[in-house]
Amino acid sequence: MMKMLPMITLVLFAAGAACTRQSDVENVPVGSDVELTRQDGGVIRGKLAARDEQTVQVESATTTRSVSRDQIADVRVVDETKPAVPLLPIARFREITVPAGTRLAVRLDSAVASDTSRVEQAVEATLTEPVVVDGTTVLPAGSIVKGEVAAVEPSGKVKGRARLALRFRSISVEGHAAPYSIAASVDRLAPATKGEDAAKIAIPGGAGAVVGGIVGGKKGAAIGGAIGGGAGTAVVLSTAGEEVRMPRGTILTLPLDQAIDVRVPIEKM
């Protein structure tokens, strides 16, 4: 019978700890700055926005997270005027949201072009500047961004400007086993060449008028102009416009279409 006492004591202690945790959740006023630790070791910091019988809502500057009560290991009020209370030993990482619209500065490690690339061709890039949220580096420089060619249209000879679109789907961070899913893209259209085309038409036309005028006066000038203009048009129709090319080393800015949640290890903060 005596051998059973340590186990009973342990069970009672665990039950008491659970009751204390639930009581803490209930006693924290809505609107307070809190630090919530989940059973899986994730730490969320923000403002206690709401709570009900099933969940607790914690609001940060970029998002609001809903945490099931049975996942909560600890919750405490953050008071900047007092010394910080150490986190529970199970705390392993902080969950920080990178908001939609955040711009990723990357350097292409793959060369792509509107006249040589194909749709779904793999594309890779490297993050050149760290992404910092609330003073914490969440995506370090050197992280690898991967995606593919989303659309490609070579330049047309008669009409149509070249186009090249890239879509990025993931970013790999050192120390994190799996890549984070992202949604970011860039779409480039070749510059218009209307001004250059007009020059190609006008110059041969003027030259033809001069030649025609020398040969046959005003009538000859009119005929020469028509001939010259035709020659100029032929040049435009047989010459394709500019292509869109992004060689290796090209710097791109990728705005995130959706927010992403990043896990930052506690020991690195």
- Nearest Cα residue to 265 out of 36, 41, 84, 39: 41
pTM, 2 dp: 0.68
Rounded distance, CA 241 to CA 238, Å? 10
Q: What is the pLDDT of residue 232?
A: 41
CB environment 48-78: b (16+ within 10 A), e (fewer): bbebeeebbbbbbebbebebeeeebbbbbee
Q: What is the pLDDT of residue 26?
A: 85
Q: Is the dihedral angle over the CA atoms 134, 136, 137, 138 positive or is it negative?
A: negative
Q: What is the pLDDT of residue 217?
A: 53
Tens digits of per-residue pLDDT, 238-264? 455 799 999 999 999 999 999 999 999
pLDDT tier at 24 (50, 70, 90 boundaries)? confident
Quote the Cα angle for 154-159-160, to 5°.
40
Lowest average pLDDT, out of 27-36, 96-105, 155-164, 212-221, goes to 212-221
Tens digits of per-residue pLDDT, 153-208? 998 754 578 999 999 999 999 888 899 999 999 999 998 765 554 444 444 544 44
Tens digits of per-residue pLDDT, 97-150? 999 999 999 999 999 999 999 999 999 999 999 999 988 999 999 999 999 999
Fold of the 2-91 domain: SH3 type barrels. (2.30.30)
- Nearest Cα residue to 133 out of 157, 158, 103: 103
**Domain 103-192+242-268: homologous superfamily in CATH:** Type IV secretion system, VirB10/TraB/TrbI (2.40.128.260)
Q: Do 105 and 56 touch, CB atoms closer than 8 A?
A: no
Q: What is the pLDDT of residue 17?
A: 39
